C-alpha cells in the first residue's frame, strides 16, 4: 500500500494514550501460556506481531479468550499449560514478522520433549537465529536449521544449567536462555556485554518465579526447575511507539502533546535522554507501576532549537528501536549527529542502517553511513519524495513523521508495515488535530 503523507499547517495538540508496549505484551502472552492457571491481561497491544504470539500459544495448547478488543488494545484471559507442558502441534508454528515470538518460543520449547517447527515471513526468515540456538544447544536442546535461519525445528528435552556469556546484548536471547533455565536442574546465568531490556526480569516474579540480578555486571539468573503461576498483568504504553509522537510534536511548530502511562523503564528511555540533551522540551510526570514497570505522563512541546549530539555504542541498546525516528529528529538539529555501534540495525526487520541512509537522502538530507555508524547533518528541510519502508514498521512511521514538516508530499511504499507495532498510528495522529491522509 502506498501512503501519501502530506505536510501539516496546524500544530499537534491534545492527549493520546499510545498502544501497549509490544515487548511486554509478548511476554505477558507467552508467560501466561506457560503458567499454571488462568491469567487476566489488560492493555495488550493488538498488532500483527502480538497476534503471532497469541496464535502460537493457542497452537501449543493454551486457551486464549479475547474479552474485549478495540482502540489498539486487547483484554485477554489465558489458561496456560502449566506442568503438563506445551502440546506438539500438527503443523509448523507461524511467527509472521515477529522475532520476539520465534526467539522466546525457542527458549520455552527447549526443555520439553516435543518436536516443533517455527517459521516466519520472508523478512523474519532472513534474521539470525544462531545467537539463540547456540546457547540453548549448549544446554541440551536440539535444533534443525538452515544456516542459522528460519524455519527452525526444535527438539527439547533434559537441559543442563550453566553460565552463558552473550557476545551481543540482546533481551530476546537473554530471555530465551532464562526461560529454558526454568526446566534445568540448577542455576542458569546469563551475562551480557551491556545492559539490555529487563522486562523479563521484572515480570517473571509476578508469575511466581524469582530472578536474580546483578545490574552492574549485566547479569541475571534463575534457579530451576521452577514453574510459572497465573497472575494479572496491565501493560503500560509503549515508549517506542510514543517516540514517533514525541518526535512529531518536537518538529511541528506550536505543538503541545500529552502522552499518559508511558513505560519509563531505564532500559527503554535512551531516546528521551538523547532528545533532552539535544534541547527537546519534554516533561516527565511519574505515574503508577504497571506490569512491574514504572510509568509516566510525557508532555512534549515544539522545540525550534535542537543541537546535534553523539549517540554512543553504550547507549544504543536502550534506544535501538528508536534510531530511525531519532535520525529524523537529528535532521532538525544544528550540526552533525553521530550514531556509533549500530551494526545491530543491519539485522532488524530490514537493513535499517542502509535504509535510513537511503530514505534520508531521498528526503534531501545529508547522511553518511559506515558498517556500524551513521551520521546525519542538520539542519535540513525535508523535500517531497518517494520512499520505501522495506516492509519495516519503524521506517514507515518515521517517514510519515518527516512528512509533517516536509515541503511536499512524501509517498511511502509498503506503509501497511506499521500494523506490526502501531496499527492506530494514523488515527492517533488524526486525534491530535492532523487530518487523516492516504
pLDDT tens, position by position, 314-328:
899 889 899 999 999
pLDDT digits (tens, 9 = 90+) for 199-228: 999 999 999 999 999 999 999 999 999 999
**Percent of the chain at pLDDT above 90?**
90
**Percent of the chain at pLDDT above 70?**
99
Q: Are 153 and 144 in contact (CB under 8 A)?
A: yes
CA distance 28 to 41: 7
Q: Which residues contact 340 (CB under 8 A, 6 or more apart)?
A: 310, 311, 312, 313, 316, 372, 373
- Is 90 exceeded by the pLDDT of residue 421? no
- Is 80 exceeded by the pLDDT of residue 128? yes
- Is 90 exceeded by the pLDDT of residue 348? no
Question: Per-residue b/e over 384-423, b at no fewer than 16 CB within 10 Å?
Answer: bbebbbbbbbbbbbbbbbbbbbbeeebbbbbbbbbbbbbb
Mean pLDDT, residues 76-91 taken together? 97
- Is 70 exceeded by the pLDDT of residue 71? yes
- Is 50 exceeded by the pLDDT of residue 112? yes
Dihedral sign for Cα 11, 16, 20, 23, please: positive
- Is 60 exceeded by the pLDDT of residue 437? no
What's the gap between Cα 157 and its chain centre? 30
Mean pLDDT, residues 253-272 taken together? 96
Q: Are 156 and 166 in contact (CB under 8 A)?
A: no
CA distance 308 to 133: 40
Look over the chain and give the mean of its residue pLDDT values, rounded to a whole number: 95
- Is 70 exceeded by the pLDDT of residue 80? yes
Helix pair angle (171-181, 130-139), 10° resolution: 20
Split at pLDDT 50, 70, 90, the class of 41 is very high
- Is 70 exceeded by the pLDDT of residue 151? yes
Split at pLDDT 50, 70, 90, the class of 361 is very high
Q: Can you give the pLDDT at residue 344?
A: 85
Pairing of β 335-340 and β 3-5: unpaired
- Is 60 exceeded by the pLDDT of residue 334? yes
Mean pLDDT, residues 2-22 taken together? 95
CA distance 208 to 16: 34
Mean pLDDT, residues 266-271 taken together? 94
pLDDT digits (tens, 9 = 90+) for 273-314: 999 999 999 999 999 999 899 999 999 999 999 999 999 998
- Is 80 exceeded by the pLDDT of residue 347? no
CA distance 384 to 418: 21
Q: Can you give the pLDDT at residue 435?
A: 63
Residue 413 annotated to the active site = no
Q: Can you give the pLDDT at residue 438?
A: 41
CA distance 325 to 129: 26
Burial class of residue 277, CB neighbours in 10 A (0-12, 13-18, 19+): exposed
Mean pLDDT, residues 254-259 taken together? 98
Annotated active-site residue in 198, 263, 321, 388: 321
Give the number of residues written for the chain: 438
Pairing of β 93-94 and β 115-119: parallel
Split at pLDDT 50, 70, 90, the class of 420 is confident
Q: Are 421 and 394 in contact (CB under 8 A)?
A: yes
Question: Per-residue b/e over 32-53, b at no fewer than 16 CB within 10 Å?
Answer: bbbbbeebbbbbbbbbbbbbbb
pLDDT digits (tens, 9 = 90+) for 165-202: 999 889 999 999 999 999 999 999 999 998 999 999 99
- Is 80 exceeded by the pLDDT of residue 152? yes
Q: Can you give the pLDDT at residue 55?
A: 98
Amino acid at each position: 500500500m502506498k501512503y501519501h503523507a502530506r505536510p501539516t499547517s496546524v500544530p499537534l495538540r491534545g492527549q493520546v494514550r499510545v498502544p501497549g508496549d509490544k515487548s511486554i505484551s509478548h511476554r505477558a502472552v507467552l508467560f501466561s501460556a506457560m503458567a499454571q492457571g488462568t491469567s487476566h491481561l489488560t492493555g495488550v497491544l493488538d498488532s500483527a506481531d502480538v497476534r503471532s504470539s497469541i496464535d502460537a500459544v493457542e497452537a501449543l495448547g493454551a486457551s486464549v479468550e479475547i474479552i474485549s478488543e478495540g482502540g489498539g488494545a486487547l483484554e485477554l484471559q489465558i489458561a496456560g499449560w502449566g506442568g503438563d507442558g506445551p502440546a506438539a502441534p500438527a503443523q509448523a508454528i507461524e511467527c509472521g514478522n515477529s522475532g520476539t515470538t520465534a526467539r522466546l518460543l525457542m527458549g520455552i520449547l527447549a526443555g520439553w520433549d516435543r518436536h516443533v517447527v517455527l517459521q516466519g515471513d520472508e523478512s523474519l526468515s532472513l534474521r539470525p537465529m544462531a545467537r539463540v540456538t547456540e546457547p540453548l544447544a549448549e544446554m541440551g536442546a536440539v535444533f534443525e536449521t538452515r544456516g542459522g535461519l528460519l524455519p527452525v525445528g526444535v527438539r527439547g528435552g533434559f537441559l543442563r544449567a550453566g553460565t552463558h556469556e552473550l557476545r551481543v546484548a540482546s533481551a530476546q536471547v537473554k530471555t530465551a536462555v532464562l526461560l529454558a533455565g526454568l526446566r534445568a536442574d540448577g542455576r542458569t546465568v546469563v551475562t551480557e556485554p551491556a545492559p539490555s531490556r529487563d522486562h523479563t526480569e521484572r515480570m517473571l516474579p509476578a508469575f511466581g518465579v524469582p530472578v536474580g540480578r546483578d545490574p552492574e555486571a549485566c547479569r541475571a539468573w534463575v534457579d530451576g526447575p521452577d514453574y510459572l503461576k497465573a497472575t494479572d498483568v496491565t501493560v503500560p504504553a509503549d515508549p517506542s511507539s510514543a517516540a514517533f509522537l514525541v518526535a512529531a510534536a518536537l518538529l511541528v511548530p506550536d505543538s503541545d502533546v500529552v502522552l499518559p502511562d508511558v513505560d519509563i523503564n531505564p532500559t527503554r528511555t535512551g531516546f528521551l535522554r538523547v532528545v533532552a540533551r539535544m534541547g527537546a522540551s519534554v516533561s516527565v510526570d511519574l505515574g503508577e507501576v504497571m506490569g512491574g514497570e514504572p510509568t509516566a505522563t510525557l508532555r512534549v512541546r515544539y522545540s525550534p532549537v535542537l543541537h546535534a549530539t553523539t549517540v554512543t555504542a553504550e547507549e544504543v541498546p536502550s534506544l535501538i528501536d528508536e534510531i530511525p525516528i531519532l535520525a529524523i529528529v537529528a535532521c532538525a538539529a544544528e550540526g552533525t549527529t553521530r550514531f556509533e555501534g549500530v551494526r545491530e540495525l543491519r539485522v532488524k526487520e530490514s537493513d535499517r542502517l542502509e535504509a535510513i541512509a537511503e530514505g534520508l537522502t531521498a528526503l534531501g538530507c545529508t547522511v553518511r553511513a559506515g558498517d556500524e555508524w551513521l551520521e546525519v547533518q542538520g539542519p535540513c528541510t525535508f523535500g517531497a519524495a518517494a520512499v520505501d519502508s522495506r516492509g519495516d514498521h519503524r521506517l514507515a512511521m518515521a517517514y510519515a513523521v518527516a512528512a509533517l514538516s516536509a515541503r511536499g508530499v512524501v509517498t511511502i511504499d509498503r506503509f501497511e508495515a506499521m500494523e506490526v507495532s502501531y496499527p492506530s498510528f494514523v488515527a492517533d495522529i488524526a486525534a491530535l488535530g492532523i487530518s487523516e491522509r492516504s
